[in-house]
Structure formats: structure tokens, C-alpha cells
């Protein structure tokens, strides 16, 4: 008995010594970050967990801002290590095989992602026969994927995306029979997609995009009946879409854009009503595209441009790029109601309406624009005077009883028509001289919203412009804005965690498309809780584009301050240079506000900009969440952690260190936090 106890003590001391030696080699942003690391018993140290025998089982130091290498960590001192998680730090150098990471056969979880590691993936990783999760993504790893890795039959999640890996994908991939998620996107992989990939019948997510793969999609892809997302975009793939893809009944994301595919699109794809993202652009597809392709209720991303398809597809979920705008854009009908100065006081003044169009065939354009505007134009017709009068009647001459909101640029009124149709009308504020509204903001909003078409962006139907009265006509959203909901206890209680997460995802999708899906990009510049509207299903819509800026090539990005204090990026105070990263910062603030139920200004200051941030670092995430809605269910834990982590990354002081909105939107859509079960004990410092 004494001998056994002595053996345990020696082992624990060895583990403590190895950790302390490693700590001494690391750079830490604050001296007290790992202040608990002292003595001979590591089980109570921050980021360390032990098993029943007091042997180290978990090293979890994610998001700590650590900088150093793995060379000084003696892995052979941790025979019972199950989890190694040092993601989102600044570790550099190689993953050295001499540290015998391959000898830790009990390891089940390795996450070295979001660091600056380089070199090759060591072959010894293939010895980790118990490994369930391996994440090496977002580093600078190069060379081929070692063949030994394909022998990890217990692997559930494999993240190797966003590196510089080269070579081919081995046919031995068939050995990963337990694999559920495979992310190899954004590398330099070449060769064919192995037909043996069809043996991975547990796969739910398969991302091979942004590589140099060639050949065709193997018909065996149809064996992956549990697949929900399939992304092969931006490769050199060719051939036709195999008919077997129709076997994938759970598929909601299909991304094949920027390849060399040809032929017709299988009919079975048209019948799928569960599409979330369908991207087939920049190929050589031919044939007729039926309108029902857009009937999927969840469809948010749809792009088939730059093919040889024909058809009359309406209801597209995203705004097109400049190329498609020139060739296929369905132009919005923009109304100019030229009101005479005596219009407000005398009857009979003529009103003219000018229709803005870009196509030669006026009759065809007229029909398409009317369809685009929906019921608005079929109600009002094309007589500007009649339409103006109906607006006045529907708002009771802009009576305060119809007032539903006040924005930076104007008052928002509810306009209800005799047949029950309801719209939102924003009447612009008059300038201090009382004669004319702020036309610059007015024009900005029109210009931005005529370039955008997205599910999560407010829809503009038309406008009236005159020195004495100017207004914009929008889709009416019954839910009000986020600020109104979060400031009302009853509404905030009903605004549950799934709704909140979905609202955040909606805003992320809208901003991602504005920044990366529109050419030139559009920056909102005033993302705040007052400028995000909700419908009755709590779907989020970005609104109020009065300060929006279109980043045309060659134009300057310097500007006067625009935005809302508490949401505006800190660099605007010094440089006044507007970039997409300004919206990213505002999105981070908004995301935390939705999760906390109040503006997070004090928390952000204490966490990111205070010299004494230890208290805030040690706050539990669960404790800073809004306490009014019911406690989150376990099924949403992962989403909450992921949203919080992404929000903090958006708030980094250096704009270059913030993610793009494209990265944010994709991460929120694709990933689930692997530490979901730990929500009750997650500290804010672990998410930074």
C-alpha cells in the first residue's frame, strides 16, 4: 500500500514539474493568468483536471492568449491524459514527434486549432487509437495528411481546414467508420475524391471546398444518407451531379460553385423543401430551372449565376453580384412622388411619378417590378397622387397614434390599408431650419436597399421625395426592434435562447452578405439593437441604412463619425476610416447584448480594456446571461458558448484580429462547441 501511494505521489510530482517547466517557457498577457500553478498538486490548477487517482486527465487552456511552443511540454509525463485543448492561442513552431504525443494512447480529444503551428502533421498521431476529436484547423500546417491518420477508426470529428496541406486524400479514408464531421476545406489538396468515401455512412458534414481536387463526384456519395452539408466549391471538379445524390434526404447545404460541372441539375434537387444553402454558380449547368427551386422555407443562400440555365425564378434569398445585376436583376420600382409646395394645403396640385428602370423592354420590366414589389403596387397602382393620398389616409396624416418608432433619420408609422395590408412608413426628420429633410441619409438608404436582397434585411417598397415631406415605405414587422424586446420583461422572458441564437445568426448572415456577397461591399455603420427588427417568429431583419456606405473601388474610406455610441468600433475615434471590421465590432456588441439582455458596455470595458480584469475573467458565462427567459436547455449549450466566443473575437481592439462576417456566419452555421456540456462552469476568460 505504501509503495502504491509513493508511486502515485511521484507521478503527480512529475506531472506538476512538466507543467511548471512548460509555463516558464510561455508568454502570458498578464502575470496572474496562471497564478494558481504552484506547488506539487496540479489538480486544483486553472485549466487542469484530474482523474480519481489524482493524475492529470485534462489540459484545457483555450482562449488564454498564450504564446510559445509545444517543445517544452513533456507529454510522456501524462500517461492518463484524455483531453488536450489549447485552441485560439498563439502557439507556434511544429508539432514535434519527439515529444511522443503518439504515445498517449488514452487521448480522446486534441484541439490545437487557431494557433500559428507550422510543419507537418506527425505520423505518430496515428497511434492515438482512442481519439474521438482531432482539430488542427486554422494553422499553417503543410505537407500531406499522414496515412497513419486514416487508421483512427474511433474518430468522430476531424478538423484540418484552413491550413496548407497538400497531396491527395487516401482511399484509406474508408477506415474512419465513426467519422461524423470532416472539414478539409481551404487547403491545397489535389487528386480525386476517393470512391471509398462512400463507406463513411455516419458523416453529417463534409467540407472539401477551396482545394485543387479534380475528377468527378463519385456515385458512392449517395451512400452518405446522414449527410446534412456537402461542400465541394472552388475546386477543379468536373462531370455531372450523380443521380445518387438524391439518396441524401437529410441534405440542407449543397455547395458546388466555381467548378467545371456540366449537364442538367437532377430533378430530385428541385423537390427538396429543406434547403438552407444551394450554391451552384460558376459551372456549366444547362437546362430549365423551375420556380419551385426557391420554395424551400428555410432557403437563405441561393446562387446559380454564370451557368447556362434558363427559367423564371423568383423569390431569391440573396442579393446578386454586379454581373448578375446587369444581366438578370429584377429592378425595384422606385417611386418619385413630386409634390408641389401647395400640395399639403391646397387640392388639385399635380403629382408626377418617375419609374427608375434599367432594361429596354418597359412592359417586361413593369411586370417584373410589380411582382417584386408585391401587394404594394397592386394596391396603389401607378398613380403617384393616389398612392400619396393612400399613405396619408393609412397613417391618419402621420398621426401620433400610428407612431411605432423613432429612428436616427425619422419617425416610423404604421400604415394600414382598407383591405388589411400593413406597411411601415418612415417619415424623415426635418432639419433645424424646418424646411427640408436629411436627403443624404435618405439617398443612402435608397441606394443601399436597391442593391440588397436578402432574407434578413428589411424590404424597401418605395419612397416619396419632396422638400416638405419625404418618406420610405417598408415591409411591416410586428415584433418591433430588439431594444424594445430586451427592455420589456414580459417580451424578454418569451424571447427564449433558441430565438436569441437564431436572431444573432440572422444578423450575421445579413452582414456577411453585405460585406462579401455584394459587389461593391456595403457597410451598415450603425448596427445596434434599435436597428434590428423582428417578425412574429423572431426572425431578425437589419434595418435603417441611412448611414450605410458602399465601398466602390478607388473611393476613399475616410468619413465623419456615424453610428451609435456604445456600438461603434474604437478605431473610428482615431482614424475615422470605415471598413467592414467596424460592422464586425458592432455585431459583437449586439450579440452580447442579446445574450445578456442589456448593453454589455461595462463587461466589455472590464474584460478587454481594464488593467484589472481578473474578476471579470473569472465570471461564469451562465451568470452573465439574461436571467429572465427559462434556463437554456442542454441542446442549446453549444450554441450559446459558440455565440459568446465569436462575440468576444469580434470585439478585439485590433481590427485585423477580428474575424470577417463571412467567417462568423459560417462558424455559427457549421460548428458546435465541443465543450457544450461544460456551460455551467465556463468562465468568460476561457472565451477570450
The CA distance from 47 to 468, in Å, is 64
Q: Nearest Cα to 483, choosing from 454, 526, 427, 524?
A: 526
pLDDT at 172: 95
Omega cis (within 30) before 426 = no
pLDDT above 90 (res 313): no
Q: What is the mean pLDDT of residues 351-380?
A: 35
From the CA atom positions of the chain, what is the Rg in Å? Answer: 28
**Which three cell numbers mark 452?**
440588397
pLDDT of residue 379: 32
Taking a C-beta distance cutoff of 8 angstroms, is the pair 100, 76 a contact?
A: yes
Going by C-alpha positions, the residue among 370, 362, 359 that lies closest to residue 334 is 370
Within 8 A by CB and 6+ apart from 90, the residues are: 27, 65, 66, 67, 68, 115, 116
Look at residue 613 in the predicted model and tell me its pLDDT. Answer: 57
C-alpha to C-alpha distance for 194 and 170, rounded to whole angstroms: 7
Q: Which three cell numbers stand for residue 107?
A: 487521448
Q: Which residue has the higher pLDDT, 260 or 613?
A: 260
pTM for this entry: 0.52
Higher pLDDT, 291 or 618: 618
415-445 pLDDT tens trace: 887 777 788 888 876 654 444 445 666 676 7
| Residue whose grid cell is 440588397 | 452
Q: What residues contact 522, with CB distance under 8 A and at least 6 apart?
A: 448, 451, 452, 514, 515, 548, 549, 550, 551
Provide the pLDDT for residue 39.
Answer: 84
Which whole number is the average pLDDT over 201-225?
Answer: 94
Spatial separation of the C-alpha atoms in residues 380 and 244, rounded to whole Å: 49
Where does the pLDDT of residue 374 fall: very low under 50, low under 70, confident under 90, or very high at 90 and above? very low
* pLDDT cut 90: percent of the chain above it: 34
Closest listed residue to residue 180, CA positions, set 164, 194, 159: 159
CA-wise closest residue to 87 among 15, 165, 155, 157: 157
For the segment 354-361, the average pLDDT, to the nearest whole number, is: 34
Q: Which residues pair with 56 in a beta bridge?
A: 50
Answer yes or no: is pLDDT of 26 > 80. Answer: yes
Q: For the residues 385-397, what does the mean pLDDT come to? A: 74
**DSSP state, residue 202:** T
The values of phi and psi at residue 181, to 5°, are: -130, 125
Does the pLDDT of residue 309 top 70, yes or no? yes
Residue 640 CB-density burial (10 A; 0-12 exposed, 13-18 middle, 19+ buried): buried
Region 577-601: mean pLDDT is 91
Poorest-confidence range of 73-82, 355-364, 459-468? 355-364
List the single range of 519-523, 551-555, 668-672 with lowest mean pLDDT: 551-555
Average pLDDT on 511-535 reads 88
Structural domains of the chain ordered from first start? 2-258 (3.80.10.10), 335-475 (3.30.200.20), 482-687 (1.10.510.10)
3-state secondary structure of 108: coil
| 382 Cβ neighbours under 8 A, 6+ residues apart | 353, 355
Mean pLDDT, the chain, rounded, equals 78
Q: Any idea what DSSP says for residue 608?
A: I
Classify the C-alpha dihedral 353-359-363-365 as positive or negative: negative
**pLDDT value of position 384:** 52
Lowest-confidence segment of 160-164, 253-257, 630-634 by average pLDDT: 630-634
**Contact 178/150 with Cβ under 8 angstroms?**
no
pLDDT surpassing 50 at residue 347? no
Which range has the top average pLDDT, 106-120, 316-330, 603-617?
106-120
Length reported for the chain: 688
633 confidence band (pLDDT: 50, 70, 90): confident
Model confidence band, residue 366 (pLDDT cutoffs 50, 70, 90): very low
pLDDT for residue 6 is more than 70 = no
Give the pLDDT confidence of 458-467 residue by residue, as tens digits. Answer: 888 877 776 6
pLDDT at 201 over 90: yes
Residue 550 bridge partners (DSSP): 522
Query: How many other C-beta atoms are found inside a 10 Å radius of the C-beta of residue 352?
Result: 11
Burial class of residue 280 in the structure, from the number of CB atoms within 10 Å of its CB (0-12 exposed, 13-18 middle, 19+ buried): buried
Rama region for 397: left / alpha / beta (φ>0; ψ in -120 to 50; rest): left
Helix or strand run (H / E) with residue 491: helix 489-494
How much of the chain exceeds pLDDT 70, in percent? 75
Q: In whole angstroms, what is the distance from residue 570 CA to residue 576 CA?
A: 10
pLDDT at 199: 96
Asked whether residue 590 carries a pLDDT value surpassing 80, the answer given is yes
SS3 246: helix
- The conformational region for residue 400 under phi > 0 = left, psi -120 to 50 = alpha, else beta, is alpha
Q: Would the CA dihedral through 555, 560, 563, 569 be positive or negative?
A: positive
- Is residue 177 over pLDDT 70? yes
In eight-state DSSP terms, residue 473 is E
Query: Does residue 561 contact residue 576 with C-beta atoms inside 8 Å?
Result: yes
Active site residue 526: yes
Q: Looking at per-residue confidence, does 379 or 387 come out higher?
A: 387
| 519/295 Cα distance (integer angstroms) | 26
Which triple of cell numbers denotes residue 216? 468527378
Longest dimension (CA), the chain: 106
Average the pLDDT over each of 230-244, 254-268, 366-380 and give the range with the smallest value: 366-380
Q: How confident is the model at residue 381 (pLDDT cuts 50, 70, 90)?
A: very low
Q: What pLDDT does 44 receive?
A: 86
Sign for the pseudo-dihedral over CA of 189, 191, 196, 201: positive
Q: What is the mean pLDDT of residues 54-65?
A: 87
Q: Could you give the 3-state DSSP secondary structure of residue 510?
A: helix
Of the pLDDT bands very low, low, confident and very high (cuts 50, 70, 90), residue 646 is very high
Listed residue (315, 524, 337) closest to 425, CA to CA: 337
State the catalytic residue, choosing from 111, 526, 583, 639.
526
Beta bridge partners of 620: 683
If you search the block for the grid coordinates 484547423, which residue do you land on? 137
| Distance between start and end Cα atoms, the chain | 45
According to DSSP, residue 105 is labeled: T
Amino acid at each position: 500500500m505504501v509503495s502504491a501511494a509513493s508511486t502515485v505521489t511521484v507521478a503527480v510530482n512529475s506531472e506538476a514539474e512538466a507543467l511548471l517547466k512548460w509555463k516558464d517557457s510561455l508568454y502570458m498577457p498578464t502575470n496572474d493568468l496562471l497564478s494558481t500553478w504552484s506547488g506539487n498538486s496540479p489538480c486544483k490548477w486553472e485549466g487542469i483536471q484530474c482523474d480519481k487517482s489524482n493524475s492529470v486527465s485534462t489540459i484545457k487552456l483555450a482562449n488564454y492568449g498564450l504564446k510559445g511552443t509545444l517543445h517544452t511540454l513533456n507529454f510522456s509525463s501524462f500517461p492518463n491524459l484524455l483531453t488536450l485543448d489549447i485552441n485560439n492561442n498563439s502557439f507556434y513552431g511544429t508539432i514535434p514527434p519527439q515529444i511522443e504525443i503518439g504515445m498517449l494512447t488514452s487521448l480522446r480529444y486534441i484541439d490545437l486549432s487557431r494557433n500559428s503551428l507550422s510543419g507537418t502533421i506527425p505520423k505518430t498521431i496515428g497511434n492515438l487509437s482512442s481519439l474521438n476529436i482531432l482539430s488542427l484547423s486554422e494553422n499553417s500546417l503543410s505537407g500531406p495528411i499522414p496515412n497513419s491518420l486514416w487508421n483512427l477508426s474511433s474518430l468522430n470529428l476531424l478538423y484540418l481546414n484552413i491550413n496548407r496541406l497538400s497531396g491527395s486524400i487516401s482511399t484509406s479514408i474508408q477506415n474512419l467508420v465513426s467519422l461524423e464531421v470532416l472539414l478539409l476545406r481551404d487547403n491545397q489538396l489535389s487528386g480525386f475524391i476517393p470512391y471509398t468515401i462512400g463507406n463513411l455512412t455516419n458523416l453529417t458534414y463534409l467540407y472539401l471546398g477551396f482545394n485543387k481536387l479534380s475528377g468527378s463526384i463519385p456515385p458512392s456519395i449517395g451512400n452518405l444518407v446522414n449527410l446534412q452539408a456537402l461542400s465541394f466549391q472552388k475546386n477543379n471538379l468536373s462531370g455531372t451531379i450523380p443521380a445518387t445524390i438524391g439518396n441524401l434526404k437529410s441534405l440542407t447545404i449543397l455547395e458546388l460553385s466555381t467548378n467545371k460541372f456540366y449537364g442538367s441539375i437532377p430533378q430530385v434537387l428541385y423537390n427538396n423543401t429543406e434547403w438552407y444553402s444551394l450554391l451552384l454558380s460558376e459551372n456549366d449547368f444547362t437546362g430549365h430551372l423551375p420556380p419551385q427551386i426557391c420554395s424551400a422555407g428555410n432557403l437563405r443562400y441561393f446562387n446559380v449565376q454564370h451557368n447556362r440555365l434558363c427559367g423564371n425564378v423568383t423569390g431569391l434569398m440573396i442579393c446578386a453580384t454586379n454581373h448578375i445585376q446587369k444581366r438578370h436583376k429584377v429592378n425595384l420600382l422606385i417611386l418619385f412622388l413630386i409634390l408641389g409646395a401647395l400640395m399639403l394645403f391646397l387640392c388639385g396640385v399635380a403629382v408626377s411619378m418617375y419609374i427608375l428602370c434599367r432594361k429596354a423592354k418597359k412592359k417586361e420590366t413593369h411586370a417584373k417590378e410589380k411582382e417584386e414589389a408585391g401587394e404594394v403596387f397592386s394596391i396603389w397602382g401607378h398613380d403617384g397622387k393616389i398612392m400619396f393620398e393612400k399613405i396619408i389616409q393609412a397613417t391618419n396624416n402621420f398621426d401620433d397614434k400610428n407612431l411605432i418608432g423613432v429612428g436616427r433619420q425619422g419617425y416610423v408609422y404604421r400604415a394600414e390599408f382598407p383591405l388589411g395590408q400593413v406597411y411601415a412608413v418612415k417619415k424623415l426628420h426635418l432639419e433645424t431650419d424646418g424646411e427640408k429633410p436629411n436627403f443624404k441619409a435618405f439617398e443612402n438608404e435608397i441606394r443601399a436597399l436597391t442593391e440588397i436582397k436578402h432574407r434578413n434585411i428589411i424590404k424597401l417598397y418605395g419612397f416619396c421625395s419632396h422638400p416638405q415631406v419625404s418618406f420610405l415605405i417598408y415591409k411591416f414587422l410586428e415584433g418591433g426592434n430588439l431594444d424594445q424586446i430586451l427592455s420589456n420583461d414580459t417580451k424578454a422572458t418569451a424571447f427564449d435562447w433558441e430565438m436569441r441564437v437564431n436572431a444573432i445568426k440572422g444578423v450575421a448572415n445579413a452582414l456577411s452578405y453585405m460585406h462579401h456577397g455584394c459587389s461593391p461591399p456595403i457597410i451598415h455603420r450603425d448596427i445596434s439593437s434599435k436597428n434590428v427588427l423582428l417578425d412574429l417568429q423572431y426572425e431578425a431583419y437589419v434595418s435603417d441604412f441611412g448611414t450605410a456606405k458602399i465601398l466602390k473601388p478607388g473611393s476613399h474610406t475616410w468619413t465623419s463619425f456615424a453610428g451609435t455610441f456604445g456600438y461603434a468600433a474604437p478605431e473610428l475615434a482615431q482614424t475615422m476610416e470605415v471598413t467592414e471590421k467596424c460592422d464586425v465590432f458592432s455585431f459583437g456588441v449586439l450579440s452580447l447584448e442579446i445574450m445578456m439582455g442589456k448593453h454589455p458596455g461595462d463587461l466589455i470595458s472590464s474584460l478587454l480594456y481594464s488593467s484589472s480584469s481578473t474578476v471579470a475573467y473569472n465570471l461564469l458565462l451562465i451568470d452573465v446571461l439574461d436571467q429572465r427567459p427559462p434556463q437554456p436547455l442542454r441542446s442549446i449549450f453549444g450554441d450559446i458558448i459558440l455565440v459568446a466566443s465569436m462575440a468576444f473575437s469580434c470585439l478585439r481592439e485590433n481590427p485585423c484580429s477580428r474575424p470577417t462576417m463571412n467567417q462568423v456566419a459560417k462558424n455559427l452555421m457549421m460548428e458546435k462547441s465541443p465543450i457544450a456540456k461544460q456551460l455551467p462552469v465556463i468562465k468568460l476568460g476561457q472565451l477570450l
